[in-house]
């Protein structure tokens, strides 16, 4: 890992120090961070019990910073493959705006600070889960699985599924069946979401040498797996109805959106060639984001309204 | 700082950029630490509750 500043200026060989706070913010993967904040908030609102709003805000901030820290560490480790992928070539390290050493220090400091803050100020179950989330994303997904196996995002997806559990633990100080179900919904949502993206970004992943499922097993197998995991996800998303975590609004939303999700997944499975094939994959990818957002928003609204009325 | 007339050399520009970057970073770190101090202070008050100031002198 080079610690020398990368020159991106006009004078070749002259170190240029151009990074700004915006570049460091970009290192934290703000879009991923926003999804983490949202799912963690759902976990906090759905959890039984009370947490002082100030402590709740601190918990959310710590979870967001922890997610951002793991994003920075991911970018530090993957700088070489980010540089050759169209989707990631504009990130701060490949563009030479932040050095790898800077990203590493930034990620480590924020990881430690976020875990300590959550542990000391809220509770250590939540703090430990946040530490596990960061460690899982960095060591298990980024360093171990991503470049080695097409199952990278299946197992690695756990890292993205932890935030509602962390949010839940921030309120209750424990892990329960309900929070595990929230985890499982995101866990089973991740494969169809990412494989849909990988289908139409196949060349990008091939060029970077990442063994995503379409690269290793081919399109047909990927489409089959997308359909399989979509069925599994829709079934998992129905569980809250039966354990009392979701109410009527959730039941209706989960059922309707689940059918639509399966329809998009079926289209990806059945349309295998031509432009329409890429279009179907893109539609599933975009719908999967909408699906998760609405599903969790409804769950949160139900619990927020119930808390307001009691 | 070495200048030739009013024109700055490439080395000077680089040095100035470096100093500016370090200054920005120092301010960022200072603000981050200040935020952490405020968070811990406020969270301590919240955890201790309203009786924190209500004690015999």
SS3 for A144-194 is HHCCCCCCHHHHHHHHHHCHHHHHHHHHHCCCCHHHHHHHHHHHHHHHHHH
Q: How far, in Å, CA of A128 to CA of A42, rounded? A: 19
Of A17, A55, A121, nearest to B18 by CB-CB distance is A17
Q: Residue B4: beta bridge partners?
A: B7
Of B17, B18, B43, the CB nearest to A58: B43
ipTM of model: 0.71
Average pLDDT score over residue span A174-202: 95
Q: What is the pLDDT of residue A12?
A: 38
| pLDDT per position as a tens digit, A249-264 | 999 999 999 999 999 9
Q: What is the pLDDT of residue A10?
A: 37
Q: Helices marked H in chain A — which ranges?
A: 21-27, 30-46, 53-77, 79-84, 100-121, 124-135, 152-161, 163-172, 177-200, 202-208, 213-216, 219-242, 248-270, 275-309
Q: Is B26 on the interface with A (CB under 8 A)?
A: no
In this predicted structure, the answer to whether residue A198 has a pLDDT above a threshold of 80 is: yes
Which of B15, B29, B30, B46 is the best mutation test for A, with the most CBs of A within 10 A?
Answer: B46
Reading the block at residue B8, the tokens are 């700055």
Query: What's the pLDDT score for residue A8?
Result: 40
Interface test with B, best of A23, A65, A115, A121 (most B CBs within 10 A): A121
Q: Across the interface, do A21 and B47 touch by the CB < 8 Å criterion?
A: no
Using a CB-CB distance cutoff of 8 angstroms, which residues of chain B are in contact with residue A55? Answer: 43, 46-47
Lowest mean pLDDT among A120-134, A195-209, A233-247: A195-209
B41 has a pLDDT exceeding 50: yes
**A284 within 8 A of A196, measured Cβ to Cβ:** yes
8 Å CB contact of A55 and B46: yes
Residue A186, pLDDT > 90, answer yes
Q: Are A199 and A222 in contact (CB under 8 A)?
A: yes
CATH code for the part of the protein at A23-175 = 1.10.357.140
CA of B40 to nearest chain A CA: how many angstroms apart? 7
CB A221 within 8 A of CB A258: no
**Three-class secondary structure of residue B4 per DSSP:** strand
Higher pLDDT, A34 or B56: A34
Q: Which tokens go with A303? A: 């619990």
């Amino acid at each position: 890992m080079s610690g020398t500043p990368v020159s991106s200026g006009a004078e070749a060989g002259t170190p240029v120090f151009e990074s700004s706070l915006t570049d460091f913010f970009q290192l934290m993967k703000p879009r991923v961070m926003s999804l983490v904040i949202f799912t963690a908030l759902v976990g906090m609102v759905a959890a039984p019990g009370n947490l002082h709003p100030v402590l709740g805000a601190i918990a959310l901030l710590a979870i967001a910073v922890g997610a951002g820290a793991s994003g920075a560490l991911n970018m530090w480790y993957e700088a070489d493959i980010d540089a050759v992928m169209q989707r990631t070539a504009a990130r701060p390290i490949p563009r030479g705006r932040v050095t790898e050493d800077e990203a590493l220090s930034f990620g480590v400091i924020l990881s430690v600070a976020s875990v300590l803050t959550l542990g000391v100020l809220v509770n250590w179950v939540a703090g430990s889960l946040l530490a596990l989330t960061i460690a899982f994303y960095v060591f298990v997904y980024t360093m171990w699985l991503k470049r080695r196996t097409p199952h990278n995002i299946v197992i690695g997806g756990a890292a993205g599924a932890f935030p509602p559990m962390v949010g839940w633990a921030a309120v209750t100080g424990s892990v329960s069946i309900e929070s595990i179900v929230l985890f499982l919904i995101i866990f089973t949502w991740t494969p169809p979401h990412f494989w849909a993206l990988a289908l139409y970004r196949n060349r990008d992943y091939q060029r970077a040498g990442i063994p995503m499922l379409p690269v290793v097993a081919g399109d047909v197998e990927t489409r089959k797996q997308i359909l399989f995991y979509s069925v599994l996800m829709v079934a998992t998303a129905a569980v809250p109805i039966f354990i009392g975590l979701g109410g009527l609004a959730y039941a209706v939303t989960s059922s309707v959106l689940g059918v639509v999700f399966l329809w998009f997944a079926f289209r990806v499975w059945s349309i295998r060639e031509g432009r329409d094939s890429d279009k179907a994959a893109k539609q599933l990818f975009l719908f999967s984001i909408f699906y998760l957002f609405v599903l969790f928003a409804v769950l949160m609204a139900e619990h927020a309204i119930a808390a307001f009325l009691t | 700082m070495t200048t030739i007339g009013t024109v700055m050399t490439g080395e000077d520009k680089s040095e100035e950029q470096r100093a500016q970057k370090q200054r920005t970073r120092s301010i960022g770190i200072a603000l981050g630490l200040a935020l952490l101090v405020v968070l811990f202070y406020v969270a301590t008050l919240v955890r201790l509750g309203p009786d924190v100031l209500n004690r015999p002198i």
